[in-house]
Amino acid sequence: MQDNLIVRTTAFAAHVVSAYLKEGDRAVDATCGNGKDTLFLCGRVGKTGLVYAFDIQKQALEKARRTLETAGETAKVKWILDSHQNLLDYVQAQEVQAVLFNLGYLPGGDKQVTTRRESTLEGARAALEALKRGGILSLVMYPGHPQGSLERLALLEMARSLDPKRFHCQHVSPVNQGEGKILPPEVLFITKKI
């Protein structure tokens, strides 16, 4: 039985992004964490594609490498120990078909080390420059923790300010979840128009 895609926000985001990728494409995992998104991207771009995997924590890059090795994934990955805000130091403008951000903290890691509003905004803007026409930026946001709430507000404000002739933005937010509990994750998709 297939997972219920609208229950797991990361699975839903991957499902949408998969429609934008094919063999030979280039993609970016802007927050590689444990490597699940990197593995997904590798599967979509295949052996002739390339995935740029960013993280600020050496521990995350090592975990992600192990995830890919365990899965037997042999796609090309460029591992980058740096912030996604510096994305354009490694990726050319209009080079990639998809960029994924899964914000927050490293699962199983130090919860005090989180993505931050300022660097995430810079990273998202850099990602929009790096996208080819017809490409997609996916940002999974976690408004249930303080930094996540700040990131969400800033990213939505940025999306609203984008030129509608150049970009299309879609914000997906669960409407009947999180009452009296931690707010559920949301996703913001931005496509660069052809």
How large a percentage of the chain has pLDDT more than 70? Answer: 92
User: Confidence band (pLDDT; 50, 70, 90) for 155?
Assistant: very high
Q: What burial class does residue 61 get, using C-beta atoms within 10 Å of its C-beta: 0-12 exposed, 13-18 middle, 19+ buried?
A: buried
**Residues 110-117, mean pLDDT to the nearest whole number:** 71
Alpha-carbon span 2 to 107, nearest angstrom: 24
CATH superfamily label, 9-192? Vaccinia Virus protein VP39 (3.40.50.150)
Give the tokens for residue 162. Answer: 């984008």
